[in-house]
Structures are given as structure tokens and as C-alpha cells.
Amino acid sequence: MAVSRLIRPGEQRLVSFDEFRESVSDAFVPLEMTSADHDDFRGVVRGATVGAVRISEVTAAPHVIRRTPRTIRAANPDYFKLGLQVGGCCILAQDGREAALTPGDFAIYDTTRPYQLSFDDRFRMLVVMFPRHLLRVPPDGIAQLTARRVSGRQGLGAVVTPLLRGLGEQIADASPTVALHLGDAVLDLVAAAFAEQLHLADGPTPLSRGDELQARVTAFIDERLADRELDLQSIAAAHHISVRHLQKMFEAEGDTVSGWIRRRRLEQCRRDLADPRYRELTVSAIGARWGFADAAHFSRLFKATHGSTPGTYRAAATPLTETERRIR
């Protein structure tokens, strides 16, 4: 997916309640929205997509927005959203918790479960949306983090907040390669900030033996994604566990080992396809580079995951310059 340019502040067009409601659902996931004053409501959503990360800025009048069981049934993509409060205040509710966000604070929420955001006054919020599997925080940890306020004034929050605030302009002006790396940097910093939150309450808390093993296993897989011989037997043997134990560990999180490997390989392929440095490599060569020996199978998997063939994705993400088009 190409980097779409963020609208500059002077180019904003405030829209009515109905238009805004449609814009929000189109930019994110299907949502329900209510406002005490439809007639005077004004708001705008502007954003850019960088690889798998969607970064949007929302400015609007007071309203309440809900992700309900009905809207989840309508479309249930597997995403996390991070909301960074830039102006005004927000109450985020999910999983029986509420986070009161003031400017500089942020919190994470899960689109696969109901949530609510309440804005009592005019506000501005930066929203970062990305596939859940890209956030490298232990699954048990994520269950503790939704709808928990992270202060932008201390710890890693003080690093993440200014980065996200300035990211819109950086992405708008960046080359596709730089923008791609910015998106990856955001995910790494966000993961670090939430990992820090898991240990703040009572000082560092060791992971359980199961969590520690799973962290070692996923790191082992990531280091060997290019190895076509990577399979359940080699992973289990490297960690001195049975194949069945390995399978059950992933099944406990609603996943499979092969599914995890496939998604991580496809993510590496997506990054390479969006990187102009690899433009001279064919699509099939990039697939083979990350363990997909069958080009047709790779193309089908990529399209099922990203909505377009690898070639179409690359053309949108790294358009040729005028000089390159003339040469070709």
C-alpha cells in the first residue's frame, strides 16, 4: 500500500455529522456514533497508510463512538488501535476498564472486542491502527494493557508521544523507504512502551515459564524465517520440547505454529516489496528469499492477507520515477 499524503492543516475541510461518521468507519473499522448536536457538529479525519500501519488524526466536536457486537459482526479485522490525545480529553472504555486521557496520554484498544470512546468537548486525537500480530508484547500482557492510560510525561511514554505527534509531517514529506522505516520504528517503540507498563506496578516481574518459553520460540522463528527447512520438528527440538507441546502453546492463544510462521514471512515480504532498495529483485525472488518456494502459492497467500497481488502492492508502494519509466 502506498504512502498517502496527510492533509495539511490549511487543507482541512470540516464535515457534517453523517459525513464524519462515514469517514471514521471508512478510516478504521465499522463503528456506531452518537452526538448531542447533529446540526452543529463538525469534524475531520485525515491520515496516511505506511505499510501495515495506518496513522490518522481526528478532530471533532463532542460525541461518543462505540465498537459494538453488531459492528464487530459486520467486519472484524484483527487490529489494535492506539489513541494519543493531542487536544481535549477522552474516556476510553474496554474490558471493564476506563482510561481518562488528557493531552500527551495514550492507550491501546482492540478492535475485535467492544469498546467506547467518549469526548465531552472539542478534541484532537492521533490514532495508530495496525494488525495485532505486529505488536511484540506477550499475549497475556496485552490482556492487561487495553484501556490503560500511559502518560506521555514519563518513561518511554515521554519518547513515544513526541514521536507520534511529529510523525504526520514526517510521513507526508518522507520518501517511501524512509516512511516504511518510520512505521516500523513506531511499532517497536509502542511495543517497548507497553512492555514497560507491564513492569511498572511492583518493579520488574519475571515472565512465567510458559511466557518465557513462548518468547524464546517466537524469537527463534523470527531469526530463521528465511530458512525453508524451518518446521515444527526443528523448532521443538531446538527448545527440548515435544511437537505437541509446541502446538498446544500456540493453540492456547488461538493460533498455530505454521500460521505464525506464514504471517511473519508475509510481513517480511511486504516490507521488501515496499522498499525501493529491492526493486531489482523479482516478486518471486522476494518470496523465495523468505521461504516461499512456489511463486503462485506465495502470490495467493499475499493477496489473501494484503488484498492485492505482490506485484500490484509493489507498484503502489514504490512507484517508478519518470526517468525509470522512460528507461523501462
Q: pLDDT above 70 covers what percent of the chain? A: 80
Q: Which of 131-135, 138-142, 303-307 has the highest mean pLDDT?
A: 303-307
Ranges of each domain in the chain: 9-197, 209-317
Tell me what the mean pLDDT of segment 29-50 comes to.
87
Task: Give a three-class secondary structure readout of the chain.
Answer: CCCCCCCCHHHCCCECHHHHHHHHHHHCCCCEEECCCCCCCCEEEEEEEECCEEEEEEEECCEEEEECHHHHHHCCCCEEEEEEEEECCEEEEECCEEEEECCCCEEEEECCCCEEEEECCCEEEEEEEEEHHHCCCCHHHHHHHECCCECCCCCCHHHHHHHHHHHHHHHHHCCHHHHHHHHHHHHHHHHHHHHHHCCCCCCCCCCCHHHHHHHHHHHHHHHCCCCCCCCHHHHHHHCCCCHHHHHHHHHCCCCCHHHHHHHHHHHHHHHHHCCHHHCCCCHHHHHHHCCCCCHHHHHHHHHHHHCCCHHHHHHHHCCCCHHHHHHC
**10 falls in which pLDDT band (50, 70, 90)?**
very low
Tell me what the mean pLDDT of segment 259-270 comes to.
89
Burial of 175 (0-12, 13-18, 19+ CB in 10 A): exposed
Q: Domain 9-197 maps to which CATH number in 1.10.10.60, 2.60.40.10, 2.60.120.10, 3.40.50.450? A: 2.60.120.10
Tell me what the mean pLDDT of segment 305-327 comes to.
73
Can you read off the three cell numbers belonging to residue 97? 476498564
pLDDT digits (tens, 9 = 90+) for 166-193: 775 665 565 666 666 677 777 777 777 7
pLDDT reported for residue 198: 66
8 Å CB contact between 136 and 142: no
Please indicate whether residue 131 or residue 292 has the higher confidence score (pLDDT): 292
Query: How many whole angstroms separate alpha carbon 146 and alpha carbon 155?
Result: 18
pLDDT reported for residue 180: 66
Q: Is 254's pLDDT higher than 90?
A: no
Least confident span in 70-79, 179-188, 286-295: 179-188
Q: Is 96's pLDDT higher than 80?
A: yes
Please indicate whether residue 116 or residue 177 has the higher confidence score (pLDDT): 116
pLDDT reported for residue 1: 32
pLDDT reported for residue 276: 82
**286 falls in which pLDDT band (50, 70, 90)?**
very high
Q: Is 123's pLDDT higher than 90?
A: yes
Tell me what the mean pLDDT of segment 246-262 comes to.
86
8 Å CB contact between 14 and 44: yes
Q: Is 155's pLDDT higher than 80?
A: no
pLDDT digits (tens, 9 = 90+) for 55-66: 888 999 999 999
Superfamily of structural domain 209-317: Homeodomain-like (1.10.10.60)
Q: Is 88's pLDDT higher than 60?
A: yes
pLDDT digits (tens, 9 = 90+) for 193-236: 777 766 654 444 444 556 678 778 888 888 889 898 899 999 99
Q: pLDDT above 90 covers what percent of the chain? A: 34
pLDDT reported for residue 311: 92
